Amino acid sequence: MSDRESAARVGRRAFFHHGVLCLAAASVLDPHSLFAEPNEKSLKVGLITDLHYADKPAAGTRHYRDTLKKLTDAATEFEQQTANFVVELGDFIDAADTVETELRYLNTIDREFSAISRDRHYVLGNHCVDTLTKNEFLEAVGQSKSYYSFDRGDFHFVVLDACFRSDGQPYGRKNSQWTDANIPPAEVEWLRADLKGTQKKTVVFAHQRLDVSNDHGVKNGPEVRQVLEQSGKVLAVFQGHSHQNDLREIGGIHYCTLVAMVEGAGTENNGYSVMDLDPDGTIRLKGFRQQKGYTWPRETVHGS
């Protein structure tokens, strides 16, 4: 961990409230503001990641077939929470040896996912485009682009694609290594222009991590973080890939890594969340099963 990251983490305090881990700046004096009910105008987003669905036996801690019933479990909660839209943060399917097998995995899990909400978004993970090309995956799920942005209510959302090799070639047809994840120059420039063009508070969705420099990180993560920080508009980044609960604050932005759905047998080992976004910028992540929950009051964002 860098000195900068360490300082950011030391400057916060963490405590539990009704089983939910809440994070706040040490300067926040009114604890009641942390636990208020979501604003009636809040936006609700269902989040899942690393489903790795495949019709094959479990391997180690990964229970591929259990993903179907785990997704049903999450769908029930998303309905009860009245999520406005849902996002899967990559590795929707596990890798297979043939295009036909991967497409079968994809069609099976996407039937269940697409039934949750018409407003849904797919972040590409390395396993999504192991054998499949990006066009094949996107055409199968009905999404036109691998990176793009959209607005909902008071917020701007950005979907990133780090499934590019260091030489700029996109993943596909088993041409890549999972440790070589990059956001190419054209996408970085698109991101810079996109953030410049919005006045809304922004949340970013990614698969590979933007907050670490190890094998799970995007190789040019520091460059991407600089673009996010310079915009002054990004509240948080939600990501997957490393299959663990993790949280870091860098440059005033929360980098929240979500737990993988594929890990462990049965719904008791499931993990998913619903993000509440209040118009003032307060974010509440309600974690379910193995997913932790967090609250970030508006006052912690960019030192405001």
pLDDT of 111: 98
pLDDT of residue 26: 29
Distance between alpha carbon 7 and the CA centroid of its chain, in Å? Answer: 24
Per-residue pLDDT, averaged over 157-182, amounts to 98
The per-residue pLDDT for range 22-32, each reduced to its tens digit, is 443 322 323 33
The whole-number pLDDT of residue 107 equals 98
**Using 50, 70 and 90 to split pLDDT, how confident is the model at 298?**
confident
Percent of the chain with pLDDT over 70: 85
Least trusted range by pLDDT, from 26-30, 77-81, 84-88, 255-259: 26-30
Structure tokens at 195: 């953030």
User: Tokens 């499934």 correspond to what residue?
Assistant: 163
pLDDT (mean) for 130-143 = 98
Q: For a pLDDT cut of 90, what percent of the chain falls above it?
A: 84
Mean predicted lDDT score pLDDT of the chain: 89
Cα 12 to its chain centre, rounded Å, is: 22
Q: What is the pLDDT of residue 39?
A: 66
Sheet holding 271-277, edge to edge: 120-122, 85-88, 43-48, 271-277, 283-289, 294-296
Pairwise CA distance, residues 206 & 228, whole Å: 13
Beta bridge partners of 43: 277
Q: Are 159 and 147 in contact (CB under 8 A)?
A: yes
87 — pLDDT class (breaks 50, 70, 90): very high
Please report the pLDDT score of residue 27 as a whole number.
27
DSSP 162-187: --B-TTSPBP-TT---TT-----HHH
pLDDT, position 99 = 97
User: Distance (Å, rounded) from C-alpha 148 to C-alpha 157?
Assistant: 9
User: Among 21-30, 74-83, 89-98, 132-141, where is mean pLDDT lowest?
Assistant: 21-30
The mean per-residue pLDDT over the stretch 17-40 comes to 39
pLDDT digits (tens, 9 = 90+) for 171-210: 999 999 999 999 999 999 999 999 999 999 999 999 999 9
- Indicate the class that CATH gives domain 3-303: alpha beta
**E strand map for the chain:** 12-17, 20-25, 43-48, 85-88, 120-122, 148-152, 155-159, 201-205, 234-239, 246-250, 253-257, 271-277, 283-289, 294-296
| Tens digits of residue pLDDT in 258-283 | 999 999 999 999 999 999 999 999 99
pLDDT (tens digit per residue) in 98-116: 999 999 999 999 999 999 9
Quote the pLDDT of residue 41: 83
